[in-house]
Amino acid sequence: MIKFGDFELYSASDGLFKLDGGAMFGVVPKALWNKTNPANEMNRIQLGLHCLLIKSGAELILVDTGVGGGYDEKFLNIFEIDQSAGNLIQNLQNFGFEPEDITKVILTHLHFDHAGGNCTESASGERIATFPNATYYFQSGELEYAKSPDPRSSASYMARNWRPLEKNGQLQLLHGDEEICPGVSVAVTGGHTEFHQIVKIKSQGKTACFLADLAPTNSHIKTPYVMGYDLFPKVTMEQKERVLKQALQENWLLLFEHAPFTKAAHLNEEEGKLKLKKVDF
């Protein structure tokens, strides 16, 4: 846990998974990215599923919900999902919180590795909200696209992750940058998806930023290190440069969702190159 001004920040893991290294680094040659993110025999690299829990007074806000569960063996093998050290719910309980305690869920976008824990199966086999007392916040445009994605993106969107919430009236659809509660806001960056958003936490003159897939790991702070999954890579590069420039100037705490080891860091510049100073989280 990090005490951050008036907030408490917790890194709530939903386990580990793996994706193709080439897809994660796009046009960057394997000879470069393999030094920092070594691939296995299937060319897959280790990634984290680090959700963010924000505690502020009576508000308990969860940012992204990980990959969740309820998948078949084929799916588990393809993504090498490993929750042996605990899933999101178990880790929330380790912090002393229950799913019923969550008041708000902010989703950066609706890909399965960010929204897979939104819902779970009841004893009767019905999909229900994992966080029954929470309102779920994400961009209206993201939902519309998720309902009718292009063939390239269709495997990343699963209606089971939002349809029960829509049915129950638990969605709060956003239309651009908005403050969710005092000190916690979202900013649309696009890039990875057209309506991808990051989350900012501001308190007592300090700012933390949950980068989600704008910079999924600490290795992605370099401008051209852009995922092959990104629908708008040029936008990703432009937005990443803008956000990281401000982060450097204002000494933001950067939070990485998919980095296997570096969950949080401050940004420094040495001899014209961006460097990260890891923060224990």
Q: Convert the pLDDT of each residue in 218-230 to its tens digit.
A: 999 999 999 999 9
Query: Rounded CA gap, 113 and 117, in Å?
Result: 8
Pairing of strands 264-270, 197-203: unpaired
Give pLDDT tens digits for 9-21: 999 999 999 999 9
Instruction: Look at residue 271 in the predicted model and tell me its pLDDT.
Output: 84
What is the mean pLDDT of the segment spanning 195-221?
98
At the topology level, CATH places domain 2-278 in Metallo-beta-lactamase; Chain A (3.60.15)
Based on C-alpha coordinates, what's the Rg of the chain?
Answer: 18
Domains of the chain, by residue range, sit at 2-278
Instruction: Look at residue 125 in the predicted model and tell me its pLDDT.
Output: 86
Residue 190 vs residues 45, 206, 212: alpha-carbon distances, Å = 24, 24, 11
- Taking 90 as the threshold, does the pLDDT of residue 275 lie above it? yes
pTM listed for this prediction: 0.97
- Taking 90 as the threshold, does the pLDDT of residue 59 lie above it? yes
Q: What number of other Cβ atoms are within 10 A of residue 32's Cβ?
A: 13
